[in-house]
C-alpha cells in the first residue's frame, strides 16, 4: 500500500509541474505543442523517480492516467462545452479507470518490475537507464500522444460533421474496453488456479491469443474514428492508430509469445489452435 501511495503522490507532483509548465508554454506556443511539451516534462519527472526507486515500472500506469486529463484540458482550452465532447471524455475516463485499476490490482510494489524491463537490464547493462528513458518512458508517451491527436483536431473544429461515425467510434472504443475487461477477469481467474505452467485458453482467450491487446487496439481505432467524425480531413491523424498497430504486432505480441513459449508448456498447442489477434473462429462459426 505504501508503494502505491508513493506512486499516487509522484504522479500528482508530475502532473502539477506539467500543468504549470503547460500554462507557461501555452502563452508562447500553440495548444498542441504546449500539451506535448508538458506531457514530456511529466514523463521526465516520472523517469527521475524511476531512477530514484531503481524501478522503471514507476511509469507503468502513467500512460493510462494522463489521456483523460489531456482530453479535459483540450475541452477547456477550446471551450467545447457540449454533450459530445463530454461523451468523449467519459469514454476516455472509462478506459483509463479500467486500465489503471488493472495495474493497481496486479502491481506488487517496488519489489516487482515488468519482465520486459528486466530483460532490458540484462541486455543493455550500463546503458539500461538510457534505454529505459527512450523506450520505456518517452516512446510510449509519444505513441499515446499521437493516438490522442484525432481528438485534438476534432475538438479544435468543434462541430461534428458525421454523427454516424461519431457513434460508431464511441461504440468501438467502449467495446475495446469491454474486451480488455473480460480478458483481465479471465486472466486473473487463471492466475489464481493451480495450473501455473499452463497458458490460458478459456473464455475469450480461446478465440484470440491476445484479446487484451485486441481490446486496446480497438479503443484507439474507435478514438481515431471519433476524430474523423468531426472532419474527414483529419485522416492524417491515422498515424497514431497505425503506430499502435505496428507497435503491438512488431514488438508487444512477439515479445509476449517468446516469453510464453519459454514458460508455458502448452503454448505451442495454443498457437496452433488459437488465432494470434483477430478471433477468426467466431466468424467461421
What confidence tens digit (pLDDT) does each residue in 120-153 have? 999 999 999 999 999 999 999 999 999 999 999 9
Residue range 273-283: mean pLDDT, rounded:
81
261 within some domain: yes
Residue 283 has pLDDT above 70, yes or no: no
In this structure, are 110 and 165 located in the same domain?
Answer: no
Provide the pLDDT for residue 106: 83
139 within some domain: no
Which of 117, 148, 175 is at the close of a domain? 117
- What is the C-alpha to C-alpha distance for residues 85 and 154, in angstroms, rounded to an integer? 9
In this structure, are 110 and 169 located in the same domain?
Answer: no
Residue range 74-88: mean pLDDT, rounded:
96
Which of 59, 85, 117 is at the close of a domain? 117
The secondary structure of 192-225 as a DSSP string is TSS-TTS---SGGGGT-S-HHHHHHHHHHHHHHH
132 within some domain: no
Per the prediction, the chain carries an average pLDDT of 93
Provide the pLDDT for residue 237: 94
In the chain, what percentage of residues exceed pLDDT 90? 82
Q: Which domain holds residue 224?
A: 160-285
User: Where does the pLDDT of residue 194 fall: very low under 50, low under 70, confident under 90, or very high at 90 and above?
Assistant: low
Contact 214, 278 (CB under 8 A): yes
100 within some domain: yes
Residue 285 has pLDDT above 80, yes or no: no
Count of structural domains within the chain: 2
Residue range 32-36: mean pLDDT, rounded:
97
Residue 284 has pLDDT above 60, yes or no: no
Q: Please write the tens of the pLDDT for every residue from 197-237.
A: 889 988 899 999 999 999 999 999 999 999 999 999 999 99
In this structure, are 101 and 200 located in the same domain?
Answer: no
197 within some domain: yes
In this structure, are 166 and 280 located in the same domain?
Answer: yes
Residue 154 has pLDDT above 80, yes or no: yes
Contact 121, 128 (CB under 8 A): yes
In the chain, what percentage of residues exceed pLDDT 70? 98
The whole model's pTM is what?
0.93
Contact 114, 57 (CB under 8 A): yes
In this structure, are 61 and 180 located in the same domain?
Answer: no
Residue range 166-180: mean pLDDT, rounded:
97
In this structure, are 281 and 166 located in the same domain?
Answer: yes
Provide the pLDDT for residue 205: 94
User: Where does the pLDDT of residue 79 fall: very low under 50, low under 70, confident under 90, or very high at 90 and above?
Assistant: very high
Residue 282 has pLDDT above 80, yes or no: no
In this structure, are 86 and 167 located in the same domain?
Answer: no
Residue range 110-118: mean pLDDT, rounded:
90
Lowest mean pLDDT among 82-86, 99-103, 177-181, 192-196: 192-196
Contact 114, 60 (CB under 8 A): yes
179 within some domain: yes
Within 8 A by CB and 6+ apart from 86, the residues are 75
Contact 144, 186 (CB under 8 A): no
In this structure, are 27 and 103 located in the same domain?
Answer: yes
Provide the pLDDT for residue 281: 66
Provide the pLDDT for residue 279: 87
102 within some domain: yes
Residue 137 burial class via C-beta count within 10 angstroms: exposed 0-12, middle 13-18, buried 19 and up: buried
In this structure, are 10 and 110 located in the same domain?
Answer: yes
In this structure, are 111 and 7 located in the same domain?
Answer: yes
User: Where does the pLDDT of residue 86 fall: very low under 50, low under 70, confident under 90, or very high at 90 and above?
Assistant: very high
Residue range 26-34: mean pLDDT, rounded:
95
Which of 117, 137, 169 is at the close of a domain? 117
Residue 5 has pLDDT above 80, yes or no: yes
Contact 261, 268 (CB under 8 A): yes
Amino acid at each position: 500500500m505504501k508503494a502505491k501511495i508513493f506512486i499516487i503522490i509522484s504522479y500528482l507532483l508530475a502532473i502539477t509541474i506539467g500543468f504549470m509548465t503547460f500554462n507557461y508554454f501555452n502563452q508562447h506556443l500553440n495548444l498542441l505543442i504546449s500539451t506535448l511539451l508538458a506531457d514530456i516534462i511529466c514523463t521526465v519527472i516520472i523517469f527521475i523517480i524511476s531512477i530514484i526507486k531503481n524501478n522503471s515500472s514507476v511509469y507503468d500506469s502513467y500512460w493510462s492516467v494522463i489521456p483523460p486529463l489531456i482530453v479535459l484540458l483540450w475541452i477547456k482550452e477550446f471551450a467545447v462545452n457540449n454533450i459530445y465532447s463530454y461523451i468523449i471524455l467519459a469514454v476516455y475516463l472509462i478506459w483509463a479507470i479500467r486500465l489503471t485499476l488493472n495495474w493497481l490490482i496486479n502491481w506488487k510494489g517496488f519489489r516487482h518490475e515488468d519482465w520486459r524491463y528486466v530483460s532490458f537490464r540484462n541486455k543493455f547493462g550500463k546503458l539500461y537507464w538510457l534505454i529505459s528513458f527512450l523506450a520505456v518512458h518517452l516512446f510510449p508517451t509519444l505513441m499515446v500522444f499521437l493516438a490522442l491527436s484525432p481528438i485534438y483536431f476534432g475538438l479544435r473544429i468543434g462541430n461534428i460533421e458525421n454523427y454516424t461515425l461519431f457513434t460508431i467510434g464511441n461504440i468501438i472504443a467502449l467495446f475495446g474496453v469491454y474486451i480488455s475487461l473480460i480478458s483481465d477477469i479471465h486472466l486473473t481467474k487463471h492466475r489464481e488456479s493451480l495450473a501455473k505452467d499452463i497458458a490460458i485458453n478459456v473464455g475469450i482467450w480461446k478465440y484470440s491469443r491476445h484479446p487484451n491487446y485486441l481490446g486496446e487496439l480497438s479503443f484507439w481505432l474507435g478514438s481515431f474514428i471519433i476524430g474523423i467524425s468531426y472532419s474527414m480531413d483529419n485522416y492524417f491523424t491515422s498515424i497514431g492508430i497505425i503506430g499502435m498497430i505496428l507497435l503491438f504486432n512488431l514488438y508487444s505480441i512477439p515479445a509476449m509469445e517468446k516469453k510464453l513459449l519459454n514458460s508455458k508448456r502448452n503454448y505451442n498447442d495454443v498457437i496452433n489452435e488459437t488465432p494470434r489477434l483477430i478471433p477468426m473462429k467466431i466468424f467461421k462459426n
